Amino acid sequence: MSIKVIVRFVCVWVLSIPLLAVGTPASATPEGPTRGVATFQGTVIDLKDGWWGAQSCVVWAGRRAECFATHEEADVLLGYSRQADALYQEGARSSGGAGSLAVPACASGWLCLYEHANGGGRRLIFSDEYWHYLSEWGFDRQTSSWRNNQGSADVGHLSLYNSGSVYNCGSRSYANSMGSANDQAYAVWG
């Protein structure tokens, strides 16, 4: 083999190494589901366009979300039981049962937002420690009550329209009404 052929071979080989290392160009958009997109009864829905009859939506880490026709369906998935809920049981003991009805249902480890006072209406459930814009989930300015059933030091937060402050959702607590902050939340951390 001549030196000229060897040099050409080496040059072609060296020049092809970067092409092998680069591979296929990466996508400009992140892999996985987009915020606000959820599965509901076997269909993919965009919650920004409506909830299509869903009553509870669970936002999992990684932006994956699942919606359910009833709160009870979501509760089963999350392992929630009213009878095993410590805050619910405490209310039942202290008030002879009547006070426990005021405690909104929310599985351990989650922050639940409700469309209406007293834990009524649609429910949006989070556990991620970063900000979610509620408009992406079809819940912008629609939070009227909440329950934070996360760990004892895990405070949730709601950013409010026309306010320089953040509404704090104390750990292991709830609010059946948000007073002047009613329907003002546009983002949640929790």
Q: Give per-residue pLDDT as tens, 45-58.
A: 999 999 999 999 99
Going along 65-130, which residue ranges are E strands?
A: 65-68, 111-116, 120-126
125 DSSP β-pair partners = 58, 112
Higher model confidence: residue 110 or residue 129? 110
159 DSSP β-pair partners = 166, 187
Closest to 159 (Cα-Cα) out of 146, 148, 168, 150: 168
Residue 77 has pLDDT above 90, yes or no: yes
Residue 144 has pLDDT above 90, yes or no: yes
Residue 35 has what pLDDT?
Answer: 86
Q: What is the Cα–Cα distance from 48 to 53, expressed in whole angstroms?
A: 13
* Average pLDDT over the chain, rounded to an integer: 83
What is the rounded end-to-end Cα distance, in angstroms, of the chain?
Answer: 69
Within 13 Å, how many C-alpha atoms sit on residue 116's CB side? 7
Q: What is the Cα–Cα distance from 42 to 28, expressed in whole angstroms?
A: 28
Mean pLDDT of 129-146: 96
Domain 36-189 has CATH 3.30.200.20: no
Report which residue type is found at 46: D
Closest to 185 (Cα-Cα) out of 171, 164, 167, 172: 167
Confidence (pTM):
0.80
Residue 183 has pLDDT above 70, yes or no: yes
Q: Is 34 left (phi over 0), alpha (psi -120 to 50) or beta?
A: beta
Closest to 70 (Cα-Cα) out of 58, 55, 57: 55
Residue 102 has what pLDDT?
Answer: 78
Residue 95 has what pLDDT?
Answer: 64
Mean pLDDT of 148-158: 94
Phi, psi of 184 (to 5 degrees): -115, -10
Residue 15 has pLDDT above 60, yes or no: no
Q: What is the Cα–Cα distance from 150 to 128, expressed in whole angstroms?
A: 11
Neighbours of 107 (CB within 10 A): 20
What DSSP state is assigned to residue 46? E
Closest to 185 (Cα-Cα) out of 128, 113, 100, 77: 113
Residue 19 has pLDDT above 80, yes or no: no
